[in-house]
Amino acid sequence: MNKILVIEDEPAIADLIKLELEMQGYRLKVAKDGEEGIAFLEQEAFDLVLLDIMLPKIDGYELLEYIKQVSDMPTIFITARSSTNDKIKGLKKGADDYITKPFEMGELVARVETVLRRYHKGKEVQEIGDVEINLEARKVKKDGKEVLLTPKEFDLLLLFVQNKNFALYKETIYEKIWGEDLEFETRTLDLHVQRLRKKLGWKDKIKTIYKIGYKLEV
């Protein structure tokens, strides 16, 4: 599960962002100023930072410089500064994207997904124990031998891997794999999970979470 740090001093905006992105399956931490943001960054690993520019104590530009010195973590500026010069300055300093307030939540979600996808591009191979997943080729090997998965099984596996050790609601899984325009069918999902467990020998890894859904425990 991708973990996002929001550094925003306006509580209403921070709460709205947190609510929306958590509904999309992300994990969120919120810092109210630059100093608290640095404290979180020193304590935990994040996949993305959403960063305001006009922050108390340490402004967004200084914070971005700090982030770029210690990691290659992607960063998106979310700010009321809407001039072209501000955008150019933010992007030149290393921001991966620049969103001006006010903004639509749908746009924010799309920008977050795009930056994370771009950031993870090139990391085509992931390993979970004795299972190797080639994202570009969409192939899976277990103990060096190829495991044949259907397209939906592969998508389901990838969703579990991206959200390992994090419980996912069945409805959320179904929506992401089969599409929100289709009526939720728990039997379809359950059968795919059963086949995935069997093919990968993951009976004990893909846990059933009572009244919630499933979790890949590694």
What the chain holds in terms of domains, given with CATH numbers, is: 3-120 (3.40.50.2300), 125-216 (1.10.10.10)
Residue carrying structure tokens 């943001």: 37
Closest CA to 19 of 28, 10, 32, 8: 28
Which of 47-51, 155-159, 165-169 has the least mean pLDDT?
Answer: 165-169
Taking residue 162's Cβ as centre, other Cβ atoms within 10 Å add up to 17
**Residues paired with residue 99 on neighbouring β-strands, in sequence order:** 78
Cα dihedral angle (184, 188, 192, 198), rounded to 10 degrees? 140
Which pTM does this prediction carry?
0.57
pLDDT in tens, 84-102: 888 899 899 899 999 999 8
pLDDT in tens, 22-35: 988 888 999 999 99
